[in-house]
A and B are shown apart, each in its own frame.
Chain A
Amino acid sequence: MKYVFLIIPLYVALGIKRKEKDIAFFVLCGLAFLIGLFLLLFDGVYLAETVLGGQR
């Protein structure tokens, strides 16, 4: 699952060829890639731990 974001560049490349896309598409793809990369780099970080911390 952590590597799913790697399909984004491929999809963008193929998507541009097929149809005209607008800015929303590129922004969301960029976000998907960055979030995926961030979570891959910070592997082992969990939302429940980060937000709830001591309550767990």
Chain B
Amino acid sequence: MKKITVRQMLLLVISTVFSPAVRLFSSFYSASTNQSAWIAPLIAGVITLAFVFVLNGIMKSGRSFFSQAEFSFGKRGAKAVGAVYLIWGTLLTALQMRYYSQRITTTIYTDIGLDPFVIVMAVLCIFALNKGIETFARMNEMISALVLAVTVGIMLLLVREAKTDRLLPLDDGESVLRATASTAANFGYITFTLFFADKLTQKEKFLRKSIVTVSVISLLSLWLFFSVVATLGPAVIKKLEYPFFGVVKQITVGEFLQHIEALIVTLWIMSDFVIIAFIGSAMTELAGFLFNTEKVKQLHLPYYVICTVLVPFLGRNDGDLKLLSEKIFVPANLILLFFVPCVMLFFGKIKESFLRKKSLVKTEK
């Protein structure tokens, strides 16, 4: 069986963060014009760092996410939980596909409908995943390096325009809480790494590498929010549909570096591709567990057909999608990506200690 390293798997998580982080601005500032929300990635990062120890607890037990669910909840319980994950994950993949196509049709191809972009993305994901998650993870090593390098480069250019007085005071607790929930829901994608635990090598390095990954995504998001809020200020951000795109449009270095927004769109597409393929792959692994099959390659096409037909069904417009994210997907992400693994580990530990005591009693007899 082909294997992937923990590092390759965690690089997938880094690539997935860029696209939702850029999208989150408008939802942060849609309700209020307070500047406090930029601190959210730091708080979400600390929460996710604590959560990494829970994931490491599951990883150390030597079980995958699915076998840990079976151990903690029993066979039927695990299947029921798995079914909930599959329904939510499918809708989440469809939502990401919708966001990706909506963003392209809003920013560049304003005269074209969503259909061609969604279908092309679905075909691309099926093609990439049919070669195996190992090949996809290796390909992502290049994508993540590019995403990181370009994002850092752009943010360095943005710092010139930043005015730190736009960042203070941090006095709106509600804005910070809402933004923290959205960001944590985004960072929670790290849980999907456990779906591939059977294929991972160097598991002993999981804790250390996960801490580095969460630190990188937290600092990257913090810097991203910091530079955009300090450049535009919350009042302007509220009026723009894609504030980061608006800020990047302003970047010019002399006459040789202009109109680099095309680069940002390329990064968006690459990050969207990784997130759609990554969640889709996790969900087909889950479908394989639910149907007791290891041949998940055959499931990619029907799975992405379901996601494609679900795309127009999600909502009429961008406003519907934002509301859907805020009211349904953010809470669902927090429950399924953070809360359920904690419960799973807790039940697992209780069961383990119970079984240990039972075997001790037997040996004493």
- A residues with a Cβ closer than 8 A to B are 1-2, 4-5, 7-8, 11, 15, 19, 21-25, 27-29, 31-32, 35-36, 39, 45-49, 51-52, 55-56
Cβ-based interface call for B172 (8 A): no
Stretch with Cβ within 8 A of A (4 or more), from B43-51, B150-158, B203-211, B303-311: B303-311
B302 touches A8 (CB 8 A): yes
Instruction: Give the complex CA separation of A35 and B309 in angstroms.
Output: 8
Which residue from A11, A45, A52 sits with its C-beta under 8 Å from B301?
A11
- Report the minimal beta-carbon distance from B85 to chain A, rounded to whole angstroms: 15
- Report the minimal beta-carbon distance from B99 to chain A, rounded to whole angstroms: 13
- With contacts A11-B301, A24-B287, A48-B324 taken as known, whether A4 is within 8 angstroms of B309 at the C-beta atoms is yes
Which residue from A8, A28, A51, A55 sits with its C-beta under 8 Å from B299?
A28
Chain A residues within an 8 Å CB radius of B115 = 1
A48 touches B323 (CB 8 A): yes
Mask, B281-325, CB within 8 Å of A = 1, is 000000110111101001101110110111111111001110110
A48 touches B321 (CB 8 A): yes
- With contacts A15-B298, A23-B291, A56-B323 taken as known, whether A5 is within 8 angstroms of B315 at the C-beta atoms is no
SS class of chain A's interface: helix, strand, loop or mixed?
helix
Instruction: Give the complex CA separation of A5 and B316 in angstroms.
Output: 21
Q: Which residue of A lies closest to B118 (CB)?
A: A1
- B residues with a Cβ closer than 8 A to A are 91, 114-115, 118-119, 122, 287-288, 290-293, 295, 298-299, 301-303, 305-306, 308-316, 319-321, 323-324, 327-328
Instruction: Give the complex CA separation of A19 and B115 in angstroms.
Output: 30
A48 touches B305 (CB 8 A): no
Q: A7, A36, A45, A47: which has the most chain B beta carbons within 10 Å?
A: A47
B287 touches A28 (CB 8 A): yes
Q: Which residue of A lies closest to B95 (CB)?
A: A47
Instruction: Give the complex CA separation of A36 and B211 in angstroms.
Output: 42
Instruction: Give the complex CA separation of A36 and B298 in angstroms.
Output: 19
Chain A residues within an 8 Å CB radius of B303 = 28, 32
Instruction: Give the complex CA separation of A27 and B290 in angstroms.
Output: 11
Chain A residues within an 8 Å CB radius of B293 = 22-24
Question: What would be 10 A-B contacts, judged by CB atoms less than 8 Å apart?
Answer: A4-B122, A4-B308, A21-B298, A24-B290, A24-B292, A28-B302, A39-B313, A47-B313, A48-B316, A56-B320
Chain A residues within an 8 Å CB radius of B316 = 46, 48-49
- Report the minimal beta-carbon distance from B136 to chain A, rounded to whole angstroms: 20
- With contacts A24-B288, A28-B287 taken as known, whether A5 is within 8 angstroms of B305 at the C-beta atoms is yes
Chain A residues within an 8 Å CB radius of B323 = 48, 52, 55-56
B328 touches A51 (CB 8 A): yes
Q: B118, B303, B313, B319: which has the most chain A beta carbons within 10 Å?
A: B313
Instruction: Give the complex CA separation of A15 and B298 in angstroms.
Output: 9
Which residue from B299, B310, B327, B328 sits with its C-beta under 8 Å from A24?
B299
Instruction: Give the complex CA separation of A22 and B295 in angstroms.
Output: 8
